[in-house]
Amino acid sequence: MDTVVVNAGLLKEMFLSGAGNLEKHKEWINELNVFPVPDGDTGTNMSLTIMSAAKEVRSLENPGMDKLAKAISSGSLRGARGNSGVILSQLLRGFCKEISGSSELDIDVLARAFVRAKETAYKAVMKPKEGTILTVARGMAEKAAELAEEGTVVELDEFMKEVIAHGNHVLSQTPDMLPVLKEAGVVDSGGQGLMVVLQGAYEAFSGNPVELDMEAPAKTSQAKVPAAEISTADIKFGYCTEFMILLDPETGKTFTEADEQELKSFLMSIGDSLVVVSDDEIVKVHVHTNDPGIAIQKGLSYGALTRLKIDNMRIEHEEKLIKDAAKIADKKKSDPVEEKPEEPRKKYGFIAVSIGAGIDEIFRGLHVDCLISGGQTMNPSTEDMLEAIDKVNADNIFILPNNKNIILAAEQAAKLTADKKIVVIPSRSVPQGIAALISFMGEGELEDNQEAMLDAMGNVKTGQVTYAVRNTSIDGKTIHEGDFMGIDDHGIAAVGTELDDTMLELLDSMVDEDSELISIYYGDGVVEEDAQALLDRISEKYEDCDVELYSGNQPVYYYLLSVE
């Protein structure tokens, strides 16, 4: 091909093709998970992230480069979920920052965009680890800069081929950078996802775009709250008002931190439930107010508005009450409907990510106000967290992610909430979250409670038992597809062909002379009688420990357990 520049129309097609290729291969990328467990979610998280941007991009008709860049950047930023999705959104954001202001992209502009993408992503990660998607991005940035500086390549086709080829080469080297990848016999899944996106983009450049199915994926998480309990008279601010402010860098006016604080202060003076999210191109606003017109007028002082949405919450609530009442009547006609007045705003509230009906009940018993369905295979997004925060009527809200890959989304939601104090307790498992909640000290000071919850998590060893989805060798153990695996806080501690024996071997790695309590949560794949029989074996073997058994109903994992 003799194409030497990419215009906005072609870039749009390339981006959508890249998104389509990632969506097409997401399950394959999921299977590259280092641990051969049935819950790899890298491909899913990256796909959901890029699909959020793709929806905005596809809606644009004949966009200019600036408008296209804004759609890619803001869409991926809002849709980012999981660590891999967040890093992908930062790569796209950096790339788009560099191309904004250019009417066409040549080799020099693209090389600078690759470099800026890499720099933006590295800055977003507190402790970058080599052998990951970041390494692959850096390798391509270095190759692109080298080609642009040498000037020996003048056609974009050759430039793209060489950059992608080098990215694939760096990806192939990731097992040599991370021993855990080498032992598992896989390359880094995030890096593979990035290369899938770029290959899809190149296919469109070559005239063979990958088709993108824009059918919305099933929502992976949902805040669970009781049926409508608030009367419309108790809704202080009746209009849920949302809009986006489009910033125009050409005017030289930027949206500074002072501007953000001014906007937040103004909106808080006329409403509540405030969320203000901003980057270099857009400001997203959500507020509950009785004067949506005034809120919109204030937004106009910063730039043009788009995606305006005003909902009358009193009318919607009345409709929901009617629907809920009908459902309850159909289900339980003989039972009277108990009306509950809204409780006053509390000092403390709790949000927890949960993974099963039994676990849900345990969290409710520990006074969690709002549950978000999620976990390994369903990482909730920052937006899911914000929706849950909006539903909890408390001044201070503790969020328990209960999964290491959800902590980042929770922390981002905390930063975006203005009218409530959000504290993220970085629980990496359900048992850690339960331990943290048990240690909560009523009406004590926030800092004291935070410290107590963190200390409680530190005293809990956690484990889980699942099955292998492929043959591999990891943590010095040979694993065959279908084997049971016991995983503790440090890695795979037990492998076997018998479920109970694997569970006991896992416990052997966790229980020591200081252990006092063993808690076991059995999942969907275990019948109660079998769980009780295993409990008897464990109680007999560890007679110095109290052993408790609970129905967790969690998918994927036969057992979750904790040792304290």
pLDDT of residue 318: 57
pLDDT of residue 505: 95
**Tens of pLDDT, residues 342-358:** 568 899 999 999 988 89
Selected residue with higher pLDDT from 358 and 378? 358
Is residue 379 predicted with pLDDT exceeding 70? yes
* Residue 332 three-state SS: coil
| Residues whose CB falls within 8 Å of the CB of residue 407, separated by 6 or more in sequence, listed in order | 401, 424, 426, 428
**Tens of pLDDT, residues 277-292:** 677 777 878 788 888 8
Rounded to two decimals, the pTM is 0.67
Asked whether the beta carbons of 400 and 64 are under 8 A apart, the reply is no
Is residue 5 predicted with pLDDT exceeding 60? yes
pLDDT of residue 322: 55
pLDDT of residue 226: 39
Is residue 449 predicted with pLDDT exceeding 90? yes
Q: How far apart are CA 444 and CA 512, in angstroms?
A: 33
Lowest mean pLDDT among 11-20, 402-411, 452-461: 402-411
What is the DSSP track for 298-314? HHHTTSEEEEEEEEEHH
Lowest mean pLDDT among 274-288, 412-426, 458-472, 512-526: 274-288
Asked whether the beta carbons of 284 and 244 are under 8 A apart, the reply is yes
Q: How far apart are CA 117 and CA 521, in angstroms?
A: 43
Arithmetic mean of pLDDT, 374-403: 85
**Tens of pLDDT, residues 139-198:** 999 999 999 999 888 899 999 999 999 999 999 999 999 888 887 788 999 999 999 999
473: confidence class by pLDDT, cuts 50, 70, 90: confident
Residue 398, class by beta-carbon neighbours within 10 Å (0-12 exposed, 13-18 middle, 19+ buried)?
Answer: buried
Q: How far apart are CA 463 and CA 563, in angstroms?
A: 8
* Structure token pair of residue 218: 């099933």
Is residue 46 predicted with pLDDT exceeding 60? yes
CA atoms 552, 557, 563, 564: torsion sign: negative
pLDDT of residue 35: 67
Is residue 315 predicted with pLDDT exceeding 80? no
CA atoms 316, 319, 325, 326: torsion sign: negative
- Tell me the range of 67-76, 243-252, 300-309, 495-504 where mean pLDDT is highest: 495-504
Asked whether the beta carbons of 80 and 279 are under 8 A apart, the reply is no
What H or E segment, with its residue span, contains residue 387? helix 382-391
What proportions of the chain, in percent to the nearest 5, are helix, strand and coil? 50, 20, 30
Phi and psi torsions of 365, nearest 5°: -65, -20
Strands 472-474 and 477-479: antiparallel
Lowest mean pLDDT among 193-207, 241-255, 427-441: 241-255
491, amino acid identity: G
Arithmetic mean of pLDDT, 309-321: 64
Q: Is 523 left (phi over 0), alpha (psi -120 to 50) or beta?
A: beta
548: confidence class by pLDDT, cuts 50, 70, 90: very high
Which letter does DSSP use for residue 349 in this model?
E
Selected residue with higher pLDDT from 184 and 321? 184
Selected residue with higher pLDDT from 100 and 374? 100
Selected residue with higher pLDDT from 400 and 385? 400
Q: pLDDT averaged over the chain?
A: 85
Asked whether the beta carbons of 344 and 184 are under 8 A apart, the reply is no
**Closest listed residue to residue 99, CA positions, set 109, 84, 114, 86:** 109
Q: Which long-range contacts (CB under 8 A, 24 or more apart) does 262-266 make?
A: 263/298, 263/299, 263/302, 264/418, 266/298
Lowest mean pLDDT among 23-37, 240-254, 537-551: 240-254
What burial letters (b/e) apply to 267-278, b meaning 16+ CB within 10 Å?
Answer: beebbebbbbbb
Lowest mean pLDDT among 105-109, 189-193, 246-250: 246-250
Is residue 392 predicted with pLDDT exceeding 60? yes
Asked whether the beta carbons of 374 and 221 are under 8 A apart, the reply is yes
**Tens of pLDDT, residues 192-235:** 999 999 999 999 999 999 998 766 444 444 444 333 343 444 45
Q: How far apart are CA 145 and CA 173, in angstroms?
A: 20
pLDDT of residue 342: 58
